[in-house]
Amino acid sequence: MNTNPEKSGRENNQMIFGIRAVIEAVKSGKDIESVYVQRGLTGELFMELRTLLKEHELSYQLVPVEKLNRITRKNHQGVIGVVSPLTYQNIESIIPDIYEKGGTPLILLLDGITDVRNLGAIARTAECAGVHAIVVPAKGSAQINSDAIKTSAGALFKIPVCRHESLLKVTRYLRESGLQIVACTEKTNDYLYKVDYTAPTAIVLGSEESGISSEIIRSADHLAKIPMNGEIASLNVSVSAGIILYEAVRQRL
């Protein structure tokens, strides 16, 4: 029995060990989910890796060597890369394609969703609702690993997933492309039913802990909340996703 949940979550992801191996993986165009670097690592080869990661807008985590040793017993040389099981796509390519096919874009942005099972459940609902793409931040998002894919019932292989360094920049691009930005938040008096989802729409959902970032809330075209009549003040974010997405589906039928 595997008692290491962190390792178990990566069991179906390809891991790459060593600085040179990770450098070559990035250069070859592989979608890197995460990079773990031993604290205190130095040298020209590490500097080359750091520069390359910056050029490709990939972040890395500085961790103690004990964490790397928990992940693998192989000779990792202070660096482990995790290759995503998905191929990330570009939202800038998806939106024009939707319009060219005569569609009305429905995009889902996930701001700070860090639980892999919530991510998977949201993706499953999004695919069923006909969402054209999911956008997640490059930093501060759940890993798309075997647990996320299993919870999504395979939906993460069917719906385009885009990763971007700044969701705020994505919202600006989407607005310039004719989409309205709808932030699902409790920081409003307006219920989600007031929004016209038949228009090109991007819906933003935040984590249950910190919600949507203030910058995105300020830039949104609409703030929408879900009616709450019980004593518990919030819903699971995957449930919230289902409620607002299927209001969009209802209006578009």
Q: What pLDDT, in 10s, does the model give residues 22-73?
A: 999 999 888 888 899 999 998 899 999 999 998 888 888 899 999 999 988 8
How far is it, in rounded angstroms, from Cα 21 to Cα 27?
10
Q: Provide the CB-side half-sphere exposure for 187 (13 A, CA).
A: 14
pTM for this model (two decimals): 0.83
Structure-token match 């589906």, residue found: 249
- The ranges of the chain annotated as CATH 3.40.1280.10 are 91-252
More confident residue, 79 or 74: 79
Beta bridge partners of 107: 133, 202
Name which of 82, 7, 79 is nearest 40 in CA terms: 79
How far is it, in rounded angstroms, from Cα 64 to Cα 47?
18
pLDDT of residue 6: 43
**Does residue 104 register a pLDDT over 70?**
yes
Strand intervals (E) in the chain: 14-17, 32-38, 61-63, 79-83, 106-111, 133-137, 161-164, 180-184, 201-206, 222-224
pLDDT in tens, 127-155: 999 999 999 998 888 888 888 999 999 99
User: Are the C-beta atoms of residues 222 and 182 closer than 8 Å to each other?
Assistant: yes
- The ranges of the chain annotated as CATH 3.30.1330.30 are 5-83
Provide the b/e sequence for 135-162 (b: ≥16 CB within 10 Å): bbbeeebbbbbbbbbebbeebbeebbbb
pLDDT in tens, 87-97: 899 999 999 99
CATH class of the domain whose range is 91-252: alpha beta
User: Are the C-beta atoms of residues 95 and 174 closer than 8 Å to each other?
Assistant: yes
pLDDT of residue 13: 57
Percent of the chain's residues with pLDDT above 70: 95
pLDDT in tens, 144-186: 888 899 999 999 999 999 999 899 999 999 999 999 999 999 9
pLDDT in tens, 211-251: 899 999 999 999 999 999 888 878 999 999 999 999 999 99
More confident residue, 253 or 12: 253
Name which of 224, 206, 186, 184 is nearest 119 in CA terms: 206
**Under CATH, which number does the domain 5-83 receive?**
3.30.1330.30
* Sequence-ordered list of residues with C-beta below 8 angstroms from that of 61, at least 6 positions apart, any chain: 34, 35, 36, 37
